[in-house]
Amino acid sequence: MVLALLTVLFGIVGAASKASAATSTGWLRLGNLSQNPTPVDMYVYPAGNSSPQIVQHGVAYGTVLSYAPISAGAYSVAIRTAGTAATSKPAMTVDVTVQSGRSYTVVPLRTNSQSGQLKVLDDSLTTPAGKSLVRVIQAAFDQKSMTFHCSCAPGAPGNIVTNAAPGSVSSYAPIPPGDWTMTAAGSSAKASLPVTLTANTVRTEVVVDGPSGVEIVNLTDAVGAGQPPVGGVTTGLGGTAPRGVPAPLPWLAVIGAGALLSLGAGVRLRRNGPRRGRGALPRMTTKV
Amino acid sequence: MPIRRPAAIAFAAGLMVMALGTAGLLLTRHPAPVRRPPPAGVATLPVPTATIVAPPRLARQAPAAKPVLLTIPLIGVKTQLIRLGLTSDGALEVPSSTTVAGWYTGGPRPGDIGSAVIVGHVDSLTGPGVFYRLSELHPGNRVFVLRADKTTVAFRVTAVRAYLKDHFPTRDVYGPTPDAELRLITCGGDFDAASGHYLSNVVVYAAEVA
């Protein structure tokens, strides 16, 4: 009965956990991929709120920061030239809706037609089983066209992106795990980078203009266990497991047996009591 | 006198047996030993709402050193970490000793991006194991991992959950994450005496303290 009640209670707790298994937190990372010699200050405001929740000062071109956890909800991201007053009019703004359990990258990107635009990228947190996902951001404004190649195993895409214009973001391509060479070939510059991909990881390769041609920045979007174990774990032998409440019958039987024994003995004592009592108690004769 | 004594002794013995039976009945009216408290259920750590002003922090690339010691001050855990792999059928290995925890080498290292996984027993055949009190943790509690290079990484508990093993959330526990996280796993829930196993797993989710 008590055990059943506990089981029900635990069941309810378990169900409640499951029902709200989705967290109310997502992730946001900021960066600057708009080619400009002056760094920027980046502000993240909760929607309708003029006081920022996150401020990152002096984010230079080619920099992408770590993810920060952020409550799910609506936000506005603004950038200003580094050192400008926080109250000044932002150079660019963009709205972001953060969903729980999702991750986003917010960066200014410069395209052929625009001097710069704040873009919200929806990052992937899932991979095809046993594979890696790789995405390419063409952030080298000096390269009007760029092809990004991976020396992947047969069957995987050789070119992750072909003839990409500045400011373009590819979709994620599935790549088998291994040690690969990533090559960015632009109109006037080329760069290569060895990249080790493990299964169930998500990457973004960013091509940026460097002091001498282009460079590849290898970003980690997410990492999972290369070989996820199957099922749960067996980590208990039961030494402290709750035992059910034992049936009361054996103890009731013991009490009953005791009662019978006492009763029988009591009756016998009572029946024989007076006679034996007489013989047992010596008459007291006292002499003073 | 020789006639009276056996009856009196029998009477007293009967009373003693009754007392014994009553004591036995009363002492076994509670499930023993006391059931572990169920996990706190859902618990998602609120993200700080105060303004975070931080210098740019670049995504790390250098791998963390291997973990050697796990400390959870709140529940008195301080254990060496052994290395764990997979069994032949693809399940997670568990420590052969119930008094030490183990780190799954097929996943990220604590402090690297992704979910590092550490498992320990809730009990042995006779008493508590290293993770006996794991389900007492709550969001906000701290967990520390010492690594081979003498650096310590701190994690903050974000959630404590229980799952039936038949519905183990592989994606939540082992799937890709964008930040450095930790998963602590042990057993919980009902014990199935027939199979000799608990039916549920308790999973503590934690994220690195920035």
Residue B94 to residues A237, B51, B86, B99, B185, Cα–Cα distance (Å)? 12, 42, 9, 11, 10
CB-based contact A59:A141 (threshold 8 Å): no
Listed by number, the residues of chain A in 169-188 with a beta carbon closer than 8 Å to a beta carbon of chain B are none
| Whether residue A114 is found in the same domain as residue A141 | no
Q: Which residue of chain B comes nearest to A40, CA vs CA?
A: B56
Helix, strand or coil for residue B125? Answer: coil
Listed by number, the residues of chain A in 3-42 with a beta carbon closer than 8 Å to a beta carbon of chain B are 3, 6-7, 9-10, 13-14, 16-18, 20-21, 23-25, 27, 29
- Helix (H) or strand (E) holding A261, with range, is helix A249-280
Cα(B172)–Cα(B151) distance, rounded to whole angstroms?
27
Q: Give pLDDT, residue A116.
A: 82
Tell me the pairing of strands A103-109 and A25-32: parallel
The yes-or-no verdict on residue A284 having pLDDT over 50 is no
| Whether residue A84 is found in the same domain as residue A166 | no
| Whether residue A97 is found in the same domain as residue A157 | no
Cα(B109)–Cα(B122) distance, rounded to whole angstroms?
23
Q: Give pLDDT, residue B54.
A: 54
Cα(B169)–Cα(A54) distance, rounded to whole angstroms?
32
Q: Is residue A237 part of a domain?
A: no
- Say which CATH number the domain at A198 has: 2.60.40.2890
Neighbours of A174 (CB within 10 A): 15
Q: Is residue A232 part of a domain?
A: no
- pLDDT-derived band of residue A9, with 50, 70 and 90 as boundaries? very low
Interchain pair A229, B56: CB under 8 A:
no
Neighbours of B13 (CB within 10 A): 14
Residue B189 amino acid letter: G
Using the Cβ of B191 and the Cβ atoms of chain A, whether some distance falls under 8 Å is answered with: yes
Strand partners, A197: A178
CA B107 to chain centre: 19
Residue listed under structure tokens 């929806």? A122
| Whether residue A101 is found in the same domain as residue A131 | no
In terms of Cα–Cα distance, which of A60, A23, A20, A21 is closest to A38?
Answer: A60
Q: Is residue A216 part of a domain?
A: yes
| Whether residue A218 is found in the same domain as residue A129 | yes
Cα(B132)–Cα(B147) distance, rounded to whole angstroms?
23
Q: Give pLDDT, residue A273.
A: 55
Q: Give pLDDT, residue B41.
A: 43
| Upstream peptide bond of B33 is cis (omega within 30 degrees of 0) | yes
Listed by number, the residues of chain A in 212-231 with a beta carbon closer than 8 Å to a beta carbon of chain B are 218-231
CB-based contact A178:A197 (threshold 8 Å): yes
CB-based contact B102:B85 (threshold 8 Å): no
From chain B, the residues in CB contact with A222 under 8 A are 113-114, 176-178
Interchain pair B201, A233: CB under 8 A:
yes
Give me the sign of the Cα torsion angle A210, A214, A220, A225.
negative
Task: Please provide the average confidence, as pLDDT, over all residues in chain A.
Answer: 85
Domain C-terminal end among A188, A206, A224: A224
Q: Give pLDDT, residue A20.
A: 34
Neighbours of B191 (CB within 10 A): 23
Using the Cβ of B109 and the Cβ atoms of chain A, whether some distance falls under 8 Å is answered with: no
Q: Give pLDDT, residue B124.
A: 95
Interchain pair B176, A126: CB under 8 A:
yes
Structural domain that includes position A106: 24-123
Q: Give pLDDT, residue A14.
A: 40
Q: What does each of the 210 residues of chain B score in pLDDT, given as a tens digit?
A: 455 677 777 777 777 877 776 776 666 554 444 445 444 444 444 454 556 655 445 555 578 999 999 999 999 999 999 999 999 999 999 999 999 999 999 999 999 999 999 999 999 999 999 999 999 999 999 999 999 999 999 999 999 999 999 999 999 999 999 999 999 999 999 999 999 999 999 999 999 997
Distance from the A2 Cα atom to the nearest Cα atom in chain B, whole angstroms: 8
| Whether residue A175 is found in the same domain as residue A201 | yes
Residue B23 to residues A248, A258, B42, B121, Cα–Cα distance (Å)? 11, 13, 41, 34
Instruction: Dump pLDDT digits (tens) for A31-90.
Output: 999 988 899 999 999 999 999 999 999 999 999 999 999 999 999 999 999 999 999 999
Using the Cβ of B164 and the Cβ atoms of chain A, whether some distance falls under 8 Å is answered with: yes
| Whether residue A42 is found in the same domain as residue A83 | yes
Domain C-terminal end among A224, A239, A270: A224
Give this complex's ipTM: 0.76
From chain A, the residues in CB contact with B127 under 8 A are 239-240
| Whether residue A85 is found in the same domain as residue A144 | no
Q: Is residue A8 part of a domain?
A: no
Task: Please provide the average confidence, as pLDDT, over all residues in chain B.
Answer: 85
Q: In sequence order, what are the residues at sequence separation of 6 or more whose Cβ sits closer than 8 angstroms to the Cβ of residue A189?
A: A140, A142, A143, A213, A214
Interchain pair A65, B28: CB under 8 A:
no
Q: Which is higher by pLDDT, A223 or B56?
A: A223
**Residue A211 half-sphere exposure toward CB, CA atoms < 13 A:** 0
- pLDDT-derived band of residue A257, with 50, 70 and 90 as boundaries? confident
- pLDDT-derived band of residue A95, with 50, 70 and 90 as boundaries? very high
- How many structural domains comprise chain A? 2
Listed by number, the residues of chain B in 48-107 with a beta carbon closer than 8 Å to a beta carbon of chain A are 49-61, 86, 89-92, 94, 98, 104, 106-107
Q: Which residue of chain A comes nearest to B117, CA vs CA?
A: A225
Residue A55 token pair: 């401020």
| Whether residue A71 is found in the same domain as residue A100 | yes
Domain C-terminal end among A195, A224, A253: A224
Q: Give pLDDT, residue B46.
A: 47
Which alpha helices (DSSP H) does chain B contain, by range?
A: 4-27, 170-174
Q: Is residue A187 part of a domain?
A: yes
Q: Is residue A251 part of a domain?
A: no
Q: Give pLDDT, residue B154.
A: 98
Q: Is residue A238 part of a domain?
A: no
Cα(A88)–Cα(A81) distance, rounded to whole angstroms?
10
DSSP annotation of B166: G
Angle, to 10 degrees, between the axis of helix B4-27 and the axis of helix A249-280? 150
From chain B, the residues in CB contact with A20 under 8 A are 42, 44
Distance from the B82 Cα atom to the nearest Cα atom in chain A, whole angstroms: 14
Instruction: Dump pLDDT digits (tens) for A174-210.
Output: 999 999 999 999 999 999 999 999 999 999 999 999 9
